Structure 1
Amino acid sequence: MFSTFELDALKEVGNIGAGNAATALSMLLSQKVQMKIPEIKVLPFDEVSKSVGGPENLVTGIFLRVEGDLGFNILFIMQAGDTTNLLKIILHESKETLELTAMEESALKEIGNIIASAFIAALSDFTKLALRISVPSLAIDMAGAILSFPLSLYGCMGDTAFLMETEFEEGLDGVKIHFYLIPDDDKSFSTLLKTIGVRSSDGNNSRGDGGI
């Protein structure tokens, strides 16, 4: 459905966004942060829950809406262990369950907001599209319920989700995040990928290494 060139261009944007996010997180945490270059996968939307352990698996979800020249949704999903490990590192306190305090919820939303905003800034710069991002929402629930949330808000979504899997290598060592881009419809995201392809073929090949 999508060419290797288009997917490589999306990976390039993810790479730049990872570098920007690592820099922002480093400033927030006052320590070096490094992220792996994201792996890009294309999934039918009805298979997304399988990629995070099945629809009944308890996970943390952080949702953000992107609007402007194109509309789509961003959804972060973290396994329970990754969520508690992340909170231990950023708040310097023991955490064993997904019963979150207001401070813990705020910290996770801020991490999601930093990573998503870094990606959208890279995407907007790469494509010259005007894009704006919403404030994040957070939920602890079964994966199937979390994935139905954008559908309940906006009524329809495309049949395809783009998964960018990335893992922290330093600073937030070993924490893995599933980062999904879920378009409003397949046409809108096809347009986005073609726009990325046009930009990259025009010689915009700046790269980041996901680190600082």
Structure 2
Amino acid sequence: MKTYEELNGLELDTIREIGSIGTGNAATALSSMLGCEVRISMPEVRIMGYNEAIDWIGGPEAITAGVLVHMSGELNGIMLSVQQLEFVNLVLERMMDRTVEHYADLTELDRSALVEVGNIMISTFINALSGLAEITTHLTVPAFAVDMQGAILAVPMAEFGGQSDYIMTIGADFLCSGRKVPCRLLLSPDIRSLNFLLKKLGVLDG
């Protein structure tokens, strides 16, 4: 059984390739929802400690929105779409013809739109991953929260912190109508699922 910190170069490269393909598919899905061509920069896929991941997003006390989905089946774990304010306003402007200055200004309709977008991005990413590895993955109904980033990241820490202190982070920039907004996704399969996934992809013996 390998933990995140024990992955070798080939295994990390495979995970990075999955991240690139999944994020590209998420950008295509976002393009359909927003009604504009969405291009994406080369995604940066890294394995980070939880505290490093929190700093990477913007720090533990920064307020952000998050859409969280649990995975089950042949791949167990969670995936989180972190929606920083630039991303939120891109979605609201394209879908609701409005923007907000603060997360506190979000209406229930705004939240529903953000959940829909986050869910589609996560579902598209996981479907691409499942197709590549030829596995079956089920997703729960998404949960939405606005909180300090340290509190939002506490969910995967509480669920999987006993198995590993690391999490997979996928970062890129979406480009839409001349605007560049950050995309931040965090994927945390449990250790059994991580090993099963690497075996299915042919980069882990056994």
1:57-87 alpha-carbon deviations (Å, 9 max, x no partner)? 1111111111101211101223334323432
- Superposition pairs of residues 27-42 of structure 1, within 5 angstroms: 27-42=32-47
- Superposition pairs of residues 1-212 of structure 1, within 5 angstroms: 1-99=6-104, 100-150=106-156, 158-171=164-177, 173-184=179-190, 186-198=191-203
CA 1:135/1:157 → structure 2, altered by over 3 Å: closer, same or farther?
farther
Task: Give TM-score, length-normalised by structure 1.
Answer: 0.82
Question: Which residue identity lines up with residue 196 of structure 2 in the other structure?
Answer: T
Q: Show the counterpart of 2:3.
A: none
Residue aligned with 1:139, SS: strand
Residue aligned with 2:195, SS: helix
Alignment partners' CA distance in 1, 2:46 and 2:135: 23
RMSD: 2.4
Q: How many residues were matched structurally?
A: 198
Deviation at 1:168, TM superposition (A): 0.6
Alignment partners' CA distance in 2, 1:154 and 1:3: 21
Structure 1's unaligned 5+ residue stretches are: 200-212
Structure 2's unaligned 5+ residue stretches are: 1-5
Q: Is the 8 A contact 1:34 1:169 kept in 2?
A: yes
Task: Give TM-score, length-normalised by structure 2.
Answer: 0.84
% identity of equivalent residues: 35
1:8-43 alpha-carbon deviations (Å, 9 max, x no partner)? 222222222233223322222332222223211110
Question: Which residue identity lines up with residue 91 of structure 2 in the other structure?
Answer: L
1:71-119 alpha-carbon deviations (Å, 9 max, x no partner)? 1110122333432343223322132111211111111111111111111
CA 1:52/1:23 → structure 2, altered by over 3 Å: closer, same or farther?
closer
Alignment partners' CA distance in 1, 2:83 and 2:117: 12
Alignment partners' CA distance in 2, 1:153 and 1:163: 17
